[in-house]
Amino acid sequence: MRGVRDGDAADAGRLLLAATPLGDPGDASTRLVAALGTADVIAAEDTRRVRRLASALGVTIQGRVVSHYDAVEAARAPVLLDAVRDGQTVLVVTDAGMPAVSDPGFRLVSACVAAGLPVSCLPGPSAVTTALVLSGLPCERFCFDGFAPRRDGERRRWLAGLVAEPRAVVFFESPRRLAATLAVAVEVLGAERPAAVCRELTKTYEQVLRGPLGELAGWAADTEVRGEITVVLAGQVGPVPGAASMDELVARVRQRVADGERLKDAVSAVAADTEFPKRELYAAAVAAPAASPHD
């Protein structure tokens, strides 16, 4: 376990991650307001947006503002680390929400941790938790999957992995791809799976649509969707409709082996047909009792 001892960072500054408002500047914390005005360096995903935020909050930025978006994050890290080592406070902000959550920040945090430099966080707005509580879906347990995959095959495999997921699932999606993603979700998860589409959270035109996936997919197909999108899928409750049991899958593997296929090939074929994890199916097939002559 790696940590920072008091003596290690006595002469060092700190890396400060700060959540920024999703839309309404009034959601900014008092600590964020203070940090914008006092940080030595502000590493911002969009330098224009952080200056507009500071202006809306009545803050005069005193420190140096540098860009810190995906394409330059790795190159910026050594310079920002040196600033922390030199005793400066480096404030990291993204366009909205928390840095490092599907936004730049992770590489810099990892580098600071590896170097034994102090890292702190100013909590605040999050599209993930905001969408969860607005969805009206059970959310005592949930998982966050970042942005949905862009390619159709990857998207289908990702959704197949959520068929039996008991937790609520939150993910981001581009408004241009929302209709396609929801259409595939209907195919893979079923038209009745409850879900919510949250658009432009905390902004003037905030919109939350709740209902079964089939209805939401129909809405997205007939609408010119705009703005930032967060989707929440309800967790699967009870048995997965139409899902084969492990015993049934093992029986299919046995039958293919009896017909002359190698075990590994039979497992691969059945797993591909059912989207079931191949490793788990292979282990079950090996562990299953041998078939009797009357099977």
Question: Is there a domain that residue 9 lies in?
Answer: no
Whose structure tokens read 């095959």? 153
CATH number at residue 192: 3.30.950.10
Nearest to 33, CA basis, from 91, 99, 95, 96: 91
Domain boundary, last residue among 104, 125, 146: 125
User: Is 229 in the same domain as 182?
Assistant: yes
Q: What is the mean pLDDT of residues 258-265?
A: 91
pLDDT above 70 for 295 = no
Inside any domain, residue 295: no
228 and 254 housed in the same domain:
no
Whether 204 contacts 227, CB under 8 Å:
no
Pair type for strands 207-212 and 194-199: antiparallel
120 and 20 within one domain: yes
- Tell me, what CATH number does 100's domain have? 3.40.1010.10
pLDDT, tens digit, for every residue of 241-253?
555 667 788 888 9
Give the pLDDT confidence score for residue 252 in this predicted structure: 87
In which band, very low, low, confident or very high, does the pLDDT at 240 lie, cut at 50, 70 and 90? low
Q: Give the pairing of strands 142-147 and 168-173.
A: parallel
Say whether both 23 and 83 belong to one domain: yes
pLDDT tens-digit map of 143-169: 999 999 999 989 999 998 898 899 999
Burial status of residue 121 (CB atoms within 10 A of its CB: 0-12, 13-18, 19 or more):
middle
User: Does the pLDDT of residue 7 top 50, yes or no?
Assistant: no
97 CB-side CA count, 13 A: 19
Q: pLDDT-based confidence at 294, cuts 50/70/90?
A: very low
Do the domain assignments include residue 1? no
Record the tokens describing residue 116, joined without a space. Answer: 């034994």
Domain boundary among 125, 160, 179: 125
- Average pLDDT of the residues in 284-288: 83
166 and 202 share a domain? yes
Model pLDDT, residue 238: 65
The string of pLDDT tens digits covering residues 30-44 is 999 999 999 999 999
The reply to whether 3 falls in a domain is no
Of 43-47, 244-248, 258-262, the range with the lowest mean pLDDT is 244-248
d(CA 132, CA 214): 20
Residues 49 and 117 in one domain: yes
The confidence score (pLDDT) of residue 214 equals: 97
What average pLDDT is seen over the chain?
90
| Domain end call among 66, 95, 125 | 125
Most confident of 208-212, 244-248, 267-271: 208-212
149 and 120 within one domain: no
Determine the Cα–Cα distance for residues 127 and 132; give it in Å rounded to an integer: 8
Same-domain check for residues 200 and 157: yes
Is 216 domain-assigned? yes
Structural domain of 162: 128-233
In a shared domain, residues 67 and 36: yes
pLDDT given at position 241: 56
Q: Are residues 31 and 109 located together in one domain of the fold?
A: yes
**Domains in the chain, number:** 3
Q: Are residues 198 and 228 in the same domain?
A: yes
Residue 100: C-alpha distances to residues 106, 109, 157, 243 (Å)? 5, 8, 25, 36
Whether the predicted pLDDT of 293 surpasses 50: no
Query: Does 292 map to a domain?
Result: no
Mean pLDDT of the region 180-197? 95
Residue 118 sits in the same domain as residue 28: yes
Tokens for 179, please give them: 């209709």
**258 domain-assigned:** yes
Q: Is residue 293 part of a domain?
A: no
